[in-house]
């Protein structure tokens, strides 16, 4: 018969208590808050705000009109650039073409007259040669006929050269290249003016909430100065701070649950960033237990639909979703 020893029970209980104390309890959660990455919408051109199509707190769709600036100068620049393109194109076309049709017609008529005169001079020369051969006229009369025929043919050659020159381009090849370059420069200036006119009207780059407006209608807006800020749903995220001892159990992509006052059911999110540098607990989440402790910043992003339940600056309680994390582990 085995004798009962009550000291063995105490030893067993002490050993169990010691083992339990060595095991690290799972983290109860961390304190954090909601932060938004705002999209600042600005125009790269300056002007007076003529139309603010949205208000603070309004939800807009992607591509919705947001605001427009005074584009009088932009329209004037566009008209000027268009006129420069027209002038440069006309100059280039004129350089590539020859004389106008009426001018060529005049030269052609003069050429026809000169050819007829040359033919008459040839006929007269032949007649004078026959008369000289028959000793009916002097040799000097034949010389006059030869000179007249030569002059008539020279005049024909002159008019033929003038007609050929009139059909050639008016400008030399170098001048044509310069005219073409001016035309291309004018077209680029027109494209730039059109771009400036287009940039005076801005639309929403993404769907989201109009978080704030910074100008009123009638105020002058410098180039590049934001007129309003947008907060798309996918740009809302949770920021919380984890002690160094608990950081090793976290990784990017790990699932967490976000809890907040009035949010209802916990919101699922996944860790998107783990800070490599330690910092002191921010004052916004100071508590007696966390004061003066070094922690690491962690960010988690919920789904876009769930993100609408979160408001920037809202306090959060973050807990590690062990079930989801185990399922997503490789």
- Report the 10 Å Cβ neighbour count for 73: 16
Model pTM score: 0.57
Structure tokens at 71: 């584009």
Instruction: Assign 26 a pLDDT band (cuts: 50, 70, 90).
Output: very low
Which of the two residues, 7 and 244, has the higher pLDDT score? 244
Q: Label residue 8 exposed, middle or buried (CB < 10 Å: 0-12, 13-18, 19+).
A: exposed
User: pLDDT above 90 covers what percent of the chain?
Assistant: 35
- pLDDT value at 230 more than 80: yes
Q: Give the mean pLDDT of 260-277.
A: 91
Residues 6 or more apart whose Cβ sits within 8 Å of residue 37 = 231, 235, 237
Sheet order of strands, 208-213 included: 39-42, 226-231, 208-213, 59-60
Gyration radius (Cα) of the chain, Å? 46
Provide the b/e sequence for 113-125 (b: ≥16 CB within 10 Å).
ebbebbeebeeeb
Q: Which CATH number fits domain 39-70+197-231: 3.30.365.10, 2.40.128.280, 2.40.50.100, 2.40.110.10?
A: 2.40.50.100
pLDDT at residue 35 tops 90: yes
Q: How confident is the model over 320-324, as a mean pLDDT?
A: 67
What is the C-alpha to C-alpha distance for residues 58 and 164, in angstroms, rounded to an integer?
Answer: 73
- CA quadruple 235, 241, 242, 248: dihedral sign: positive
pLDDT at 329 exceeding the cut of 50? no
Q: Which residue has the higher pLDDT, 83 or 205?
A: 205
What are the boundaries of each domain within the chain?
Answer: 27-36+233-328, 39-70+197-231, 83-191
| Residue that has been written with the tokens 């060529």 in this structure | 104
- Burial status of residue 313 (CB atoms within 10 A of its CB: 0-12, 13-18, 19 or more): exposed
Q: Please tell me what DSSP assigns to residue 181.
A: H
* Tens digits of residue pLDDT in 186-211: 777 777 777 888 888 999 999 999 99
Q: What is the DSSP letter of 208?
A: E
Task: Indicate the range of 78-92, 266-280, 295-309 predicted with least confidence.
Answer: 78-92
CATH architecture of the domain 27-36+233-328 equals Beta Barrel (2.40)
């Amino acid at each position: 018969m085995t004798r009962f020893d009550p000291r063995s029970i105490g030893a067993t209980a002490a050993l169990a208590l010691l083992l339990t104390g060595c095991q690290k309890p799972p983290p109860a959660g961390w304190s954090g808050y909601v932060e938004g990455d705002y999209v600042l919408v600005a125009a790269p051109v300056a002007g007076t705000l003529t139309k603010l199509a949205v208000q603070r707190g309004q939800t807009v769709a992607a591509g919705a009109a947001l605001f427009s600036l005074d584009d009088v100068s932009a329209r004037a620049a566009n008209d000027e650039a268009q006129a420069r393109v027209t002038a440069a194109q006309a100059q280039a076309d004129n350089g590539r073409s020859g004389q106008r049709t009426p001018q060529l017609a005049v030269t052609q008529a003069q050429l026809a007259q000169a050819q007829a005169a040359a033919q008459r001079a040839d006929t007269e020369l032949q007649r004078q040669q026959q008369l000289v051969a028959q000793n009916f006229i002097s040799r000097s009369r034949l010389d006059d006929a030869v000179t007249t025929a030569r002059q008539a043919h020279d005049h024909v050659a002159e008019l033929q050269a003038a007609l050929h020159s009139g059909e050639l381009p008016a400008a030399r090849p170098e001048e044509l290249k310069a005219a073409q370059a001016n035309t291309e420069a004018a077209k680029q200036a027109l494209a730039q003016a059109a771009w400036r006119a287009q940039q005076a009207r801005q639309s929403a780059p993404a769907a989201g909430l109009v978080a704030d407006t910074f100008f009123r209608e009638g105020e002058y807006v410098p180039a590049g100065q934001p007129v309003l800020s947008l907060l798309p749903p996918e740009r809302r995220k949770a920021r919380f701070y984890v002690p160094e001892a608990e950081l090793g159990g976290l990784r990017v992509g790990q699932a967490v649950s976000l809890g907040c006052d009035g949010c209802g059911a916990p919101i699922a999110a996944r860790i998107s960033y783990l800070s490599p540098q330690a910092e002191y607990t921010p004052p916004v989440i100071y508590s007696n237990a966390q004061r003066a402790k070094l922690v690491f910043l962690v960010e988690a992003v919920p789904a876009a639909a769930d993100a609408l339940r979160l408001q920037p600056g809202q306090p959060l309680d973050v807990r590690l979703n062990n079930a989801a994390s185990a399922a997503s582990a490789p």
